[in-house]
Amino acid sequence: MELGLVPLLISLLGYIFLGPVVTALLIVNEILRIIVSYVLLYNFNDKIVLVSDGAEAAWAAKRAGKSNMVQVTVHTEQPITEEKCIEYITSRVMLEMDPLSGQKVNEKLEHILIEKYGYACWKKDEDFNVKRHVRYLGSKIYCKPDMQSLFREISEDMGDNKPQWELVIVPRYKESKESPTTCLTIFRFHHAYADGLSVLMIVKKHFISDVTYYLDPCELPVKIPPWKIYLYYANAIIFGPYTWLLVLIKKFRSFWPIRRSPCPVNEIGQHQKHFTWANRFDLDKIRKIRKTIRNATISSIIENAFITAATQVLPRERFPENWFVTELAAFIPYKNTHPQNRFSLFEYYIDSTQNEIERLECSSNAASKAMLSPYIPVLFFLIKLCGRFPICINKYIFAGALSSMMVSNVPISKTKGKFVGTGDVLEFIGFPPQPTDIGITVGCSSYNNSVKITACSDPNWLGEEELEGIVGRIPGIIAEWADKIGSKTE
């Protein structure tokens, strides 16, 4: 996102001509919200209330074939029993109290996200029982294809007969015939309850011991002078209308050459998405690259490795020349460890015609500039603002394919932890939600000096074999780059 005189003039014109209209709409909507809140109070007492945080309400809209579910999977040596899991949720998660307010920290988990009078609402579950939120799949040994089918199933939005979250335990899992039998515990949340990083805070606080943060979400990673913070927000305010315009324009653009061949669909006619993951690899490979490539990050390295792999797997006409990449971001610091949404994003182009190292250098610099642009705060507050409108309006927030690929990078722990006393945590497998029309989402997590990559694709963008071929190549490509770059610096 380039800033300058033209973007400044566009923003000024936006404030002059659209500012009064937007202000009037906001006032009318807030009046409607007050009316609806009183109607809810009169008809339902306090059993149904409006979702006050727009960053939560923005996720209430359901779109066919899209998903608002966050999936965080903990891969452990030994299985956790269903009884122990229920005990931990009941005695720890649900009873955790905020010492300042005296209220339950996770009380939101006892409420159901519903639509009432056109707005997103929280409905108290009068029959709330933790047992209804734990599934134990112990009838067979699961292999990778079984888990891919399960991930596809649980990526779909839940109904509104109970709070939209659950824990799914797969006590017997084998990655391959030669692999030992291990356990997968899947934390599945509707995004309205919490974003991925917030879910991880709950998991680490109540289920995993010996966690050492790479990055504490409740603290800024470095001390920033107040004037820089003021300048950052001033930029967001000044160029806010221009940023909104860029988002609007992108909704009408094409970012991927769609396949015209028939794609598999499920029983209700929706395309079946593909889920896969690569073997974890040593984080030192990433560190070796970052020592030489200025501004390189885990995300930018994985994105470029994905593009390199795509050029090896796909014919030239099957992928774009310029990849427009969206990275998910957390608007830190978090206020506390309560379940919450601090989701935002930033974006930039990657030119796939450049040679690998040159492309990595250019895209890493572009990503560094994008992180400091007004995009993250503007999009964060835009989502919070639009989420306060009726669901029929805010469902268009995520409409459209806003980029060629969406990437989510989550740093988890520097050290190995133990899961509720049952054994070591081997790795984390996370899949971001797929609320937009972007057909490729990539997740990566850093844990105990290793990196895990996951991916999901719409079959109109990438077929199952294509996605498997691309993702499976990424660790080897990164290792090759590390060796090549290392040999140049030695």
Q: How far apart are CA 287 and CA 281, in angstroms?
A: 12
The per-residue pLDDT for range 214-236, each reduced to its tens digit, is: 878 888 777 788 888 888 889 88
Residue 323: per-residue pLDDT:
93
Query: Percentage of the chain with pLDDT > 90?
Result: 57
SS3 111: strand
The per-residue pLDDT for range 118-162, each reduced to its tens digit, is: 999 999 999 999 999 999 998 899 999 999 999 999 999 999 999
Residue 487: per-residue pLDDT:
59
Q: Please count the residues of the chain.
A: 490
Residue 235: per-residue pLDDT:
87
Give me the torsion for CA of 83, 89, 94, 96, rounded to 10°: 120
Lowest mean pLDDT among 102-106, 307-311, 333-337, 466-470: 333-337
Q: How far apart are CA 241 and CA 254, in angstroms?
A: 23
The DSSP code sequence of 381-426 is HHHHHHTTS-HHHHTTTT-S--SSEEEEEEEEESS--EETTS-BEE
**DSSP code for 107:** G
Residue 248: per-residue pLDDT:
82
| Residue 216: how many other CB atoms lie within 10 Å | 12
Residue 359: per-residue pLDDT:
93
Residue 265: per-residue pLDDT:
53
Q: What is the mean pLDDT of residues 420-445?
A: 88
pLDDT band at 93 (very low <50, low <70, confident <90, very high): very high
At a CB cut-off of 8 Å and minimum separation 6, what does 289 contact?
296, 301, 360, 478, 481, 482, 485
Residue 211: per-residue pLDDT:
81
Asked if residue 303 lies in contact with residue 295, where contact means CB atoms within 8 angstroms, the answer is no
Domains and CATH numbers, the chain: 61-111+127-209 (3.30.559.10), 226-417+435-489 (3.30.559.30)
Q: How far apart are CA 390 and CA 388, in angstroms?
A: 7
Residue 331: per-residue pLDDT:
84
| Residue 157: how many other CB atoms lie within 10 Å | 18
Asked if residue 418 lies in contact with residue 209, where contact means CB atoms within 8 angstroms, the answer is yes
- Going from the C-alpha of 37 to that of each of 33, 40, 121, 123, 192, the distances in angstroms are 6, 5, 10, 13, 19
Neighbour-count burial for 281-315, b at 16+ CB within 10 Å, e otherwise? bebebbebbbebbebbbbbbbbbbbbbbbbeebbe
SS3 165: strand
Max alpha carbon distance in the chain (Å)? 74
Token output for 15: 């404030």
Whether 7 has a pLDDT exceeding 80, the answer reads yes
Residue 269: per-residue pLDDT:
45
Q: How far apart are CA 445 and CA 428, in angstroms?
A: 7
Residue 333: per-residue pLDDT:
86
185-194, 200-209, 244-253: which is most confident: 185-194
**DSSP code for 338:** S
Nearest by Cα to 410 from 303, 295, 334, 330: 330
Between residues 486 and 110, the one the model is more confident about: 110
Q: Report how far Cα 121 is from the mean position of its chain's Cα atoms.
A: 22
pLDDT band at 460 (very low <50, low <70, confident <90, very high): confident
The per-residue pLDDT for range 245-288, each reduced to its tens digit, is: 888 888 778 888 866 555 555 544 456 889 999 999 999 999 99
